[in-house]
Structure 1
Amino acid sequence: MNSCIHCGISFDFYEEGFLFIESNQIDQHITDSYQKMNDYIAFAPYSSLDIVQSELNRLKYTTDLRMGLSRTKRPARLIDLKTFELRFNEKETVNFIQHGQFVSYLQPIISLNSKELYGYESLLRTKDSNFTLSPWKLFDVAAKTGLHSLLDQRAREEAVKARAGQVSPGTKSFINFLPSTIYNPDFCLQHTFKIVEKYQVNPADLVFEVVETEKIVDVGHLKKVLDRYKKEGMKVALDDVGSGFSTLDMLELLRPDYVKIDRSYISHCDQDQDKLNFLKEANERAQALGIITLAEGIERIEEAEVCASLGYDLGQGYLFGKPAETINFPEVSSIR
């Protein structure tokens, strides 16, 4: 099991300060410009990040070496050389992941039966107009640089905050999370539970969903994560079922409260018998297990009508509203 060493811990690239290196064989890395702190750690001042880049280039193929930066002569948090290089090469994005301003956009989810608002999915966006990276790129960089736990944690916090003053009690908030960032559910989810308490949100109004980018390797561990959410009175969802590793068989194994069917099966489902067959089977299997079904990616009235006729409980997609910083729920009474 991986550790939580990088979760919530900042790692900054200062324009000047001290560069620290650590190795079990520190002597071979010492130059005249380094001062030895002990048998394993040495440091040297630097006056620009170009100097750090030069040292990184010089030492990048050295094995068993850790690096870190500090504004003072106090030892910095040191990380392995490969991760340091990845973070250095993406330092602007890394800095934004740690300190940038985020906001949670809300996309409506409706009841296909009553045509009433059921909830919103919270989607992470950058608040700084000068920083234009997509959420996908942010999470990609975060995963490569060991900061995915931190970014996922920040996304969950923004999603809970987004309810304040906007979303009425009783309306659900669907919040994405990355299972790979939660090594120990009892420990790693404490931050989320404290945020829920801080903003005085009813846990029953929150639905935490496994996002589509995660390969389900350890089903037993994922079930423990979902059960931990449930223990706090929250609901859980399995996202994008039918795509990748989220199969219908996972419904029986994980027993989520909600299942979201991948948009690829929704698109033009009124014109494709194979899609209709899958949607029917998925709904029947979910309903047999007492799982609420949600069709995502609905863009056409015909798709909404098909899903409603098959007995799907909920719908989500551009037909009902695009993600926005402020809530927006259009009239959908035209669905038969």
Structure 2
Amino acid sequence: MQPAVYCEISEIINSANVSSQLQPIYNLATNSVLGYEALVRGPENSLLHSPYHLFKAADAYKLTTALETLCIKKAIEKFSLLDLPGKLFINVTPNYVATQLNNANWLMHLLKKQGISPNRLVIELTEQSRADDIDQLKTALKRLKTFDIQFAIDDLGAGYSGLIQWSEMQPDIIKLDRHFVHNCHQQTHKQHFLRALLELANSTNALTIVEGIENQAELECIYNLGFNFAQGFYLGKPTATPTIATPNVIKSLISDAISQLIQQAEQSSQRLLN
């Protein structure tokens, strides 16, 4: 007799009983939505509702590939159904990209069927696991780029060899782990790290997204450091039907910045007149 967990995860995959929640990512400079990150959820009232337990169970019974394929399909279908603006960010393990996306024909067919242009898709390489074959991974990513699909390194600083992956694979987008932003307004050394990472990203033409914004002080800190893209519970939680509007905290942030610029311009003009 098979263990209960195996039966449950098998049934979830066979019946496609997972759903996607979407969390907004904002452009602070333009007060607009950059896109949405898709986050999988298992069945309600089940231990496997949590993505951690869902993938742990799939991994234990060698069903991770099937689960990841299902999650990609569900995310694309949900994004299309809601007709959301911007880009769709999907978390994928490096090994899945290397072995299952080296031939992206099925993915391109799915995008076309759902009416989503490939240049609106961002594959997020999770830092929680390493690639078994880095050359195979690089080949797969290079092929995806020929279709204008972008890729990001997710949670940089949280897992395996983030800087090595960055230098080896030249991602389009870097997503900084929330460790760097947590209480950054109170910790000067974190601000130094953030500045250095932003400068490095700019020098490699990579867009940088700061994850894990949880309060106004952190938001103001990363904005003042020069970051334009942000994500976090303070700005918007993952939901089944995310908003397309930007939160008032971003509008006030831009308004305050404009007021400061006007004030500085007035002060400069006054000094010239004097």
TM-score range, shorter chain: 0.7 to 0.9
Structure 2 residue runs of 5 or longer lacking an equivalent are 258-274
Query: Is 1:173 paired with 2:88?
Result: yes
Write the distance in 1 (CA, Å) between the matches of 2:165 and 2:6: 36
Matching residue of 1:333: 251
Does residue 143 of the first structure (1) align with residue 59 of the second (2)?
yes
> Alignment partner for residue 119 of structure 1, among 18, 35, 49?
35
CA pair 272-163 structure 1, distance change in 2 beyond 3 A: same
1:184-199 matches, cutoff 5 A: 185-187=101-103, 189-199=104-114
Structure 1 counterpart of 2:10, one-letter code: V
Aligned match of 1:183 in 75, 99, 104? 99
| Higher mean C-alpha displacement, 215-224 vs 117-126 | 215-224
Contact 2:80–2:115 (Cα < 8 Å) also in 1: no
1:188-267 paired onto structure 2 within 5 Å: 189-267=104-182
Cα deviation, 1:84-104, whole Å, max 9, x if unaligned, reads x6x665212222133242221
Q: How many pairs align?
A: 249
Aligned to 2:223: 308
Greater Cα offset, 316-325 or 106-115: 106-115
Task: Report the secondary structure of 1:191's partner residue.
Answer: helix
CA contact (8 A) 2:94 2:130 kept: no
Considering only aligned residues, what root-mean-square deviation do their CA atoms show, in Å?
Answer: 1.9
- Between the aligned partners of 2:228 and 2:167, the Cα distance in structure 1 is 19
Measured in 1, the distance between the counterparts of 2:136 and 2:110 equals: 23
d(CA) in 2 for partners of 1:302, 1:314: 16
Question: What corresponds to 1:27 in structure 2?
Answer: none
Q: What amino acid does structure 2 have at the position aligned with 1:203? A: P
Higher strand share: 1
Distance 1:246 1:115 in 2: 33
Offset of residue 132 of structure 1: 4.1
Q: Which has the higher helix share?
A: 2
Matched residue, 2:267: none
Which consecutive unaligned segments of at least 5 residues does structure 1 have? 1-52, 54-84
Question: For residues 275 and 249 of structure 1, what CA distance do their matches in structure 2 show?
Answer: 21
Query: Counterpart in 2 of 1:320?
Result: 235
Hey, what does 1:131 align to over in structure 2?
Answer: 46
Identity, % of aligned positions: 31
Distance 1:109 1:88 in 2: 38
**Maintained 8 Å contact 2:129/2:159:** no
SS at match of 2:129: coil
**Cα shift at 1:254:** 0.9
**Alpha-carbon distance between aligned partners in 2 of 1:154 and 1:98, rounded to the nearest angstrom:** 9
Residue deviations 1:103-153 (CA, integer Å, cap 9, x gap): 211101001222211111111113x43434211111111112111001000
The structure with the largest alpha-carbon Rg is 1
CA distance in 2, matches of 1:303, 1:245: 26
8 Å contact from structure 1 (residues 269, 276) kept in 2: yes
Cα distance, 1:138–1:190 mapped onto 2, change above 3 Å: farther
Q: Within 5 Å, which residues of 2 pair with 1:53-68? A: 53=1
* C-alpha separation in 2, matches of 1:167 and 1:222: 31
Amino acid at match of 1:253: E
Paired position in structure 2 for 1:286: 201
Higher relative contact order (CA 8 A, sep 6+): 2
CA-to-aligned-CA distance 1:204-234 (integer Å, 9 cap, x gap): 1111110132224533222222222211111
Q: Scaled by the length of structure 2, what TM-score is found?
A: 0.84
Q: TM-score normalised to the size of structure 1?
A: 0.69
TM-superposed deviation, 1:158: 0.9
